[in-house]
Structure 1
């Protein structure tokens, strides 16, 4: 899957998840979803590896479940950078839940892409 396909999938997932869970997650517009998708991809490249290395002991203790919290933190950081009036979560738990759903959506789409060929 190319970078732009992943951006489109994340953008559409942000919009659909904000419609499905309006009390947990808010996206102001389609353009803010695109911006949030770009910011999230930049944070995943620049910040997420550092957080994974720093949290390695707690990730090992929790058998990898702490990586869900790291994904939620990446979404919270995205909301801070984009602006919480445009892209917001009600809590860190909501961000972790949305990140879990976003990961599930991305893995389903990526597996369907592989099965095609």
Structure 2
């Protein structure tokens, strides 16, 4: 139940990103669900590999290169999905991923309190 709720809330977060920032376009809630799924899949499989491979650059930049990796994941999801979810350039991917990450932290915080172990 928690995973389904997280997926739906992350899709809503993508719709919020598209509403707040014109560099990201989401054409429907179905497209947002698909994009949230692909972003989650990329963050689970590809992101850890990229973090390990770029560890020296991340250390030199004091962790700021992780923002670039997040933007790549956001942009990659848009290129995989095509017309339903679009990101207009790397700068838009960077800003869109930052907004999406902040909304994701809010979702995780809210769900942590909702599904707290008693």
Fold shared by both chains (TM-score > 0.5) = yes
Distance 1:113 1:31 in 2: 22
Structure 1 gaps of 5+ residues are none
* Counterpart position of 1:11: 11
> 1:46 deviation in Å?
1.2
C-alpha deviations, 1:71-105, integer Å up to 9, x for none?
A: 1100111011111x221111111111111111111
Q: How does 1:1-117 map to 2 (within 5 A)?
A: 2-22=2-22, 24-83=23-82, 85-115=83-113, 117=116
User: TM-score if structure 1 supplies the norm length?
Assistant: 0.89
Distance 2:27 2:107 in 1: 25
> 1:115 deviation in Å?
4.0
- RMSD after superposition: 1.6
**Runs (4+) off by over 6 Å:** none
Q: Say which is worse superposed, 30-39 or 105-114, in terms of deviation.
A: 105-114
Distance 2:93 2:79 in 1: 12
User: TM-score if structure 2 supplies the norm length?
Assistant: 0.88
Structure 2 gaps of 5+ residues are none
